[in-house]
Amino acid sequence: MKFLSCAAMLCLVASPALANARLIKSSPANGAKVRSPHRIVLTFSEALEPAFSGALLLDKDGRNLNGEPVKVSGKLITITPERLEPGRYVVSWHSAGHEGKRLEGRIRFTVRP
């Protein structure tokens, strides 16, 4: 019985650490060299709060190239850009799960000719 009580306490203590919507995968991947992507998809560890999550696709000069509005749905942020010319690009993202903690980061990729 003591073991179960201790295990339950550990779960309660550990659960807030799991409440961050962390980026777990992106397409294209960070550092990738790809043809112009039709879609850029960021996958997070938990469902996102749409009002507090999003992303910008930026060219080498810092111009916003998102094209259509960014879609935030479930665990995904999706950008549907116009055709990208060869060059380097950055996706600057921010996320917040239902617990409200904000995280941010960047994904860099290169579009090859």
Q: 94 lies in which domain range?
A: 19-111
Asked if residue 93 belongs to a domain, the reply is: yes
Instruction: Look at residue 4 and tell me whether its pLDDT is greater than 80.
Output: no
CATH of the domain at 59: 2.60.40.1220
Q: What strands lie across the sheet with 76-79, from one edge to the other?
A: 23-27, 40-44, 76-79, 71-73
Asked if residue 95 belongs to a domain, the reply is: yes
Asked if residue 47 belongs to a domain, the reply is: yes
Asked if residue 8 belongs to a domain, the reply is: no
The proportion of the chain whose per-residue pLDDT surpasses 70, expressed as a percent, equals 83
Interval 59-82 mean pLDDT: 94
When divided into structural domains, the chain yields a total of 1
How many angstroms separate the CA atoms of 98 and 9, rounded? 22
Provide the mean pLDDT of the chain.
Answer: 87
Asked if residue 107 belongs to a domain, the reply is: yes
Asked if residue 59 belongs to a domain, the reply is: yes
Reported as a single tens digit per residue, the pLDDT across 76-96 is 999 999 999 999 999 999 998
